[in-house]
Amino acid sequence: MTPETARATPYFTTPGVTIYCGDALKILPYLNPVDVVITDPVWPRTKNASMAGDLGPWELFTRAVKLITPKTKRLIVILGCDSDPRFLKTVPAELPYLVTCWLRRIPPVMKGNILFGAEVAYVFGQPFPWEHTKRILTTECFAVSRGRRDFGNDHPCPRNIAILDWLISKYTAEGQTVLDPFCGSGTTLEAALKAGRKAIGIDIVQHYCDIAAGRCRQPPPLFTEPHPPPLLHFPPHWLPPVVECYVKLRGRRRGINLT
Ligand SMILES: C[S@@+](CC[C@H](N)C(=O)[O-])C[C@H]1O[C@@H](n2cnc3c(N)ncnc32)[C@H](O)[C@@H]1O
């Protein structure tokens, strides 16, 4: 077996899911084209920037996008609302900009003096024909923050499964293949599998690949819902007063009077 073949050898497979353990920059050239890439790369300004290795978040993402572009018609990148959007200038014209989605956190969290109310998903690529989705493509999701981590998931920055459930249901179609080249603990893969999509994940850390594999191995729940209700179904105009009330309470606890 040549080293190149070895690099593209799956670490884990189960019906509908394949996980590669290794450097995405070395594995991506050997993968077949996919329908959609949904990824949560190492963000600029994240406190976990060392996860991007020697290259750093900007260079790692730039090189990965070059490899991803010929393999897909659509790319969805999840970033924090405090991540520099110029990070995405590296996405080429072949993947035109489509929409920005606000992935709202309920409740928001304080990061320094910023009330971190949302993550953002930038959608690039070909428009979605009506026949493909047969639904209106909304651009806001309300996800309840997780109070606890899943048992055994000690990834430093796992995404909320509700966000990935929403993105996959809105921006992919049944039977399509979703690739996450920085899959971490496998949130994208779990959501894709649950929704009847095929999933491919890559992560450089074996421990995270093991967590992702564990999540994809679990049989779907029959009578129990393992996650908190995925989305809050309330009219969006309720949100500003709720957030304002929350900010005032947080401020008062910190001795700040926000009038
Ligand atoms: C922001 S985390 C993804 C978290 C994931 N969305 C989840 O829910 O757990 C980014 C991941 O990229 C992985 N990573 C960093 N450099 C990589 C590389 N060169 N190739 C593949 N994965 C890499 C890190 O190990 C980390 O798990």
Reported pTM: 0.85
Instruction: Report pLDDT digits (tens) over 232-252.
Output: 555 556 666 776 777 677 766
Going by CA atoms, what residue is nearest to atom 2 of ligand 1? 184
Q: Which CATH code fits 3-253?
A: 3.40.50.150
Q: Is 40 touching ligand 1 by the criterion CB < 6 Å?
A: yes
Instruction: Report pLDDT digits (tens) over 183-204.
Output: 999 999 999 999 999 999 999 9
Q: Give the separation between CA 102 and CA 254, rounded to whole angstroms.
A: 28
Give the residue with greater pLDDT, 235 vs 144: 144
- Cα-to-centroid distance, 122 and ligand 1 (Å): 18
Q: Give the separation between CA 31 and CA 28, rounded to whole angstroms.
A: 5
Domain ranges of the chain: 3-253
pLDDT at 149 over 70: no
Q: Is the peptide bond before 15 cis (omega within 30 degrees of 0)?
A: no
Q: Is 204 touching ligand 1 by the criterion CB < 6 Å?
A: yes
Angle at 53 between CA 212 and CA 125, to 5 degrees: 65
Going by CA atoms, what residue is nearest to atom 8 of ligand 1? 158
Mean pLDDT in residue range 202-227 = 79
Residue whose C-alpha is closest to residue 104's, from 119, 121, 82: 119
- Cα-to-centroid distance, 204 and ligand 1 (Å): 7
Q: Is 64 touching ligand 1 by the criterion CB < 6 Å?
A: no
Q: Give the separation between CA 166 and CA 214, rounded to whole angstroms.
A: 22
Q: Give the separation between CA 202 and CA 208, rounded to whole angstroms.
A: 10
- Cα-to-centroid distance, 189 and ligand 1 (Å): 13
